[in-house]
Structure 1
Amino acid sequence: MKLDHEKLDVYCVALDFAVWAYTVCRSLKGLDRPMRDQLIQASQSNAQNIAEGCGKISAADRGRFLQIAGGSARECGAILDILGRCDVLDRETVLKGKNFLVRIVAMLTRMIEYGNLLREGEVEYEHVNENEHVNENEHEDQSGQLTQRETL
C-alpha cells in the first residue's frame, strides 16, 4: 500500500536525487561541510514538500508547497553550481545532479500550472438569516412568539 505522494513520478525522482546527493556529499569534508549540509537539507526539503503538498486539499495550499519544493530544487542547483565552480565536484557529477533537478522542476511547474487551472468558478451564495422576518412588522416577544407590531 502506498501513500498518494509515493505514486507521483516527481516524488520518486526527488527521492532519487536526495539519495544521489547524500552519496555525493559523503566525499565533502572540511571547508565543504557547510555546502554539504545545505545540499542534504535542500534535497530532503524538496521531497518533503512534495509529499506534504500532495496531502493538502485546497489547490492554493498544494500549489504553495509545490512552489517551495521547486525552490528547494533550484537551491540544490545553485549549490551544485558553486561546488562545480570551486572545483569541489567535477563537471560530470554536477551535470548528473542537474539532470535530476531539471526533471523535478519541469514536473513541479506542470503540476502547479495544472493546479491553477483547477479553480472553482465564482458562485454567489444567498445569505439567509434565520432571524429575519418576512414582514417588517413581525417581531418576537420575550417568550419567542412571533407577533405583529402595531404600526401608526
Structure 2
Amino acid sequence: MLDYEKLDVYNCSIEHLAFVFKAMPLVPRGYSALVDQWRRAAVSVPLNIAEAVGKTSEADRRNRYAIARGEAMECGAILDVVRLLEVAPDVELARAKNLIVRIVGMLTKLCQ
C-alpha cells in the first residue's frame, strides 16, 4: 500500500470519483462541457492528494493540497448544477455533497 492510500481524504476522493463516473452518463445531451469539467475536477482531487504525499517540501505539499481543495470546491458547485438537472436521486447527490464537504474540510487542515 502506498502512503497516500492510507489517507481518509484520498479514499473519500476516490469514492466521490466513483459517483462521478456513475453519474456522468446520466447528464442530458447538451451538457458535455459540464460533464468534462466535472470529470477533470473530480479526477484532479485524488491525483493532487497523491502528488502532495510524494513531495519532500512542506510548501510543495501544501500547494498540492490547496489545488486539490480548489478542485473539490469546484466539484461541490458542479453537484449543485447537476442537482438542478435531476439526473440522480437526491439521496445520492446528498451523499456525494457530504463527501465533498468532508474532503474540503480535511484538505483545509492539510493546507495549514
TM-score (normalizing by structure 2): 0.91
- By how many angstroms is 1:93 displaced? 3.2
Matched residues in 2 for 1:89 and 1:38: separation?
A: 18
Deviations 1:36-62 (A, max 9, x none): 121111110001000001111111100
- Deviations along 1:31-89, one digit per CA (max 9) or x if unpaired, are 12221121111110001000001111111100000000000000001111112234444
The number of residues matched between the two structures is: 112
Q: 1:95-134 alignment to 2 at 5 Å?
A: 95-113=94-112
User: Is the contact between residue 23 and residue 87 of structure 2 (CA under 8 Å) also seen in structure 1?
Assistant: no
Amino acid at match of 1:11: Y
Q: Deviating runs (4+, > 2 A) in structure 1? A: 85-94
Residues 1:76 and 2:65 aligned together: no
Residue 63 (structure 2) aligns with: 64
Compute the TM-score of the two structures, normalised by the length of structure 1: 0.68
For the aligned residue pairs, the C-alpha RMSD in angstroms reads: 1.4
Per-residue CA deviation, residues 86-105 of structure 1 (Å, 9 max, x unaligned), is 44445333212111101111
Q: If each structure's helix is expressed as a fraction of its own residues, which one has the higher value?
A: 2
1:91: which partner in 2?
90
In the alignment, is the contact (CA less than 8 A) between 2:48 and 2:68 conserved in 1? Answer: yes
Q: Sequence identity, in percent?
A: 38
Greater Cα radius of gyration, structure 1 or 2: 1
